Chains A and B, each alone.
Chain A
Amino acid sequence: MRKYIGGKLGLFLLLKGLRMATLLFAICLISFLLIKNSPIDPIQAYIGADMLKVGPEQREKIAEYWGVDQPVMVQFLNWGSALLTGDLGTSMIFRRPVIDIIGERFLNSLALMISAWVLSGMIGFAMGVVAAMKKGTWIDRIIKWYCFTLASTPTFWMGLLILIVFAVWLKWFPFGMGVPAGVLAENVTMVDRINHLILPAITLSIVGVANVALHTRQKLIDVLASDYVLFARARGEQGFVLFWRHGLRNVALPAITLQFAAFSELFGGAVLTEQVFSYPGLGQATVEAGLRGDVPLLLGLVIFSTIFVFVGNLLADLSYRLLDPRMREGRRYDFKPQIKK
């Protein structure tokens, strides 16, 4: 029986892996072609302001060196085969390997995204639960109003607002960047880093709350109207015990899944938030790579964010398979007669 479940999970992961491979291939091809047909001139982007000092012959030499004079498909194959060996190329604006930059920036973003993810998940879930348990009361109305307002608030605007209030007016937190300015890297303390993290993390979680809260609220209202809650009430359960026994377990699973599936929004939100706070994360790197025509970095980021979002969705699927007994033990009952034989 265990083996059977294991085999099923293995097959599931294999299929997901295949899907990921095809998705990555498609994404690589499409973004490569898009960039190829965009007005970005890789040579100009590489040379920058010294463009006037470079003659046409030198240009050709550079083009030959980078291989941009070859046909598009050959270029794609060159890039693709380098990609397969793990070589993402060198960033033109940072003059360092793309993989190093992504790694470093991702660590910064990870701190931001994880704290926002956990915060928004917990606060949103709690808000949804309270709203559903007190459905129709003033507290429910406030939470709903708050969520609808937030759901229609642009992230960057919320970031600016928070920046103005907490950094400029109240001066509680530094305004922007990942570490204090004018301090040597080895003198930067953990407290400094956390201090710089708080405002962007709060911005990102405030915006992320609405989704989970509204979803949890609706789901819990459905659960409370279900037959099994009616029966639980008929057996004398009520209030917090009722929620703890039947509400929580039936609502937590969809909420967790939703949080994992919201990785794409988290990433998108991070791009905007990091830009507003000049926080040196992946999002900010993406904006810079795009604006300054850093093709290798941009493509590397596209691939990385694809994997990131895909992993989020995969975790959402997996959490269902591992946590929901209907998925986990779905076959047990059907199987029984065959084991007996």
Chain B
Amino acid sequence: MPILEVENLSVSFKQYTGLKQKTHKVISSLNVTLEAGEILAVVGASGSGKSLLAHAILGILPRNASICGVIKYAGEELTPDRQTVLRGKEIALVPQSVNFLDPLMRVGSQVRTSVKNGDAVSVQREVFERYHLRQEVEKMYPFQLSGGMARRTLLSTAMVSGAKVIIADEPTPGLDPDVIKEALNNFREVADNGCAVMLITHDIESALNIADKIAVFYAGTTVEVAPVENFKGHGEEIRHPYSKALWRALPQNDFIPIPGSQPHPSSLPAGCLFAPRCVMATPECRQVQPEMRKLRGGMVRCIHAT
């Protein structure tokens, strides 16, 4: 049984322009599932709704946001009340950068506040030792950390909580390759120990190295969920034309970009969201948005996919 299921999730924001209230839908029909012991990489361009998915699962969206659809944790629906109880305990976030640490609090204390069971100090020291952080690091303030140290500190906050689901939101931006590799290996290790990891990233290449499954997002929807083994060669085994295009745009593959850009949430096309840029598009594609369907051990949102 999957530990985390997201079914047809949509997120909208209420906005006031003057006295008029407007609702912007930024995520529509997102579907992902997460199993214990596996890493699901969520990839897609900026603005495709990756971070919002993380915030929606944790229940930390801003007040003007409203969500539709179902999120289930361990088979039970994740209501706001359950989210309040579970976040930081069963579901932990590994954020993007050192800006997510309180600038005026020593990092050791910040890691300790995440400890839910046992002696906070010894748990924190243990995890620092495990991630090769010297003991004086606990006395430092976030601005004194180097990129790698910050990375390991942020990971520590999730590790000490004993969470079963770890959501890493762009954990490797602007780091040098060694640090990225180390961080990703840490996530692999965590998953091998039985946690479920959702790795949100736009670095497809490194995601492919450690993930078990890849979920591709486009304009606030999932277009494909595929086992990592499908991403090879010229992408013949990839189901959706957008994921195929993403794969082929990588420098080490064909390095062919697709023309056009992702539509803005306020001006989504009718029917399939990718149709305007798709080479396979037919008039039928512009009628209704296709449903997610099972195909060759994965999922795809395309009527032409085979």
Which A residues fall within an 8 A CB radius of B?
226-228, 230-238, 245-246, 249-250, 253, 324-326, 329-330, 332-333
Across the interface, name the chain B residue whose C-beta is closest to A231. Answer: B100
A-B contact pairs, 25 of them (CB 8 A): A227-B97, A227-B100, A228-B99, A228-B100, A230-B60, A230-B95, A232-B102, A233-B87, A234-B58, A234-B93, A234-B95, A235-B93, A235-B157, A236-B89, A245-B102, A246-B102, A250-B102, A250-B104, A324-B104, A325-B141, A326-B141, A329-B144, A330-B143, A333-B143, A333-B145
Within residues 145 to 172 of chain B, which ones have a CB less than 8 A from any CB in chain A? 145-146, 157, 161
Which B residues fall within an 8 A CB radius of A?
55, 58, 60, 84, 87-89, 92-93, 95-97, 99-105, 113-114, 140-141, 143-146, 157, 161
Q: Flag if B93 contacts A329 (CB, 8 Å).
A: no
Q: Flag if B93 contacts A231 (CB, 8 Å).
A: yes
Residues of A within 8 A of B146 (CB): 333
With the chains together, A6 CA to B140 CA distance in Å?
A: 20
Q: Flag if B95 contacts A231 (CB, 8 Å).
A: yes
Q: Flag if B102 contacts A228 (CB, 8 Å).
A: yes
With the chains together, A238 CA to B113 CA distance in Å?
A: 12
Residue of A237, A250, A325, A330 near B113 (CB, 8 A) is A237
Most chain B beta-carbon contacts within 10 A, residue among A233, A235, A329, A333: A235
With the chains together, A232 CA to B96 CA distance in Å?
A: 14
Across the interface, name the chain A residue whose C-beta is closest to B89. Answer: A236
Residues of B within 8 A of A332 (CB): 140, 144
Most chain A beta-carbon contacts within 10 A, residue among B60, B84, B93, B161: B60
Q: How far is the CB of A230 from chain B (nearest CB, A)?
A: 6
Q: Flag if A227 contacts B95 (CB, 8 Å).
A: yes
Q: How far is the CB of A340 from chain B (nearest CB, A)?
A: 12
Q: How far is the CB of A99 from chain B (nearest CB, A)?
A: 43
Across the A-B interface, the 8 shortest Cβ-Cβ residue pairs = A236-B88, A235-B88, A231-B100, A234-B93, A333-B144, A227-B99, A227-B100, A325-B141
Across the interface, name the chain B residue whose C-beta is closest to A333. Answer: B144
With the chains together, A325 CA to B139 CA distance in Å?
A: 11
With the chains together, A237 CA to B104 CA distance in Å?
A: 17
Q: Flag if B88 contacts A237 (CB, 8 Å).
A: yes
Q: Flag if B100 contacts A329 (CB, 8 Å).
A: no
Residues of A within 8 A of B104 (CB): 249-250, 253, 324-325
Known A245-B105, A329-B141; further 14 A-B contacts with Cβ < 8 A: A227-B95, A227-B99, A227-B100, A231-B101, A233-B58, A234-B60, A236-B84, A237-B88, A249-B102, A249-B104, A253-B104, A325-B143, A326-B141, A333-B143
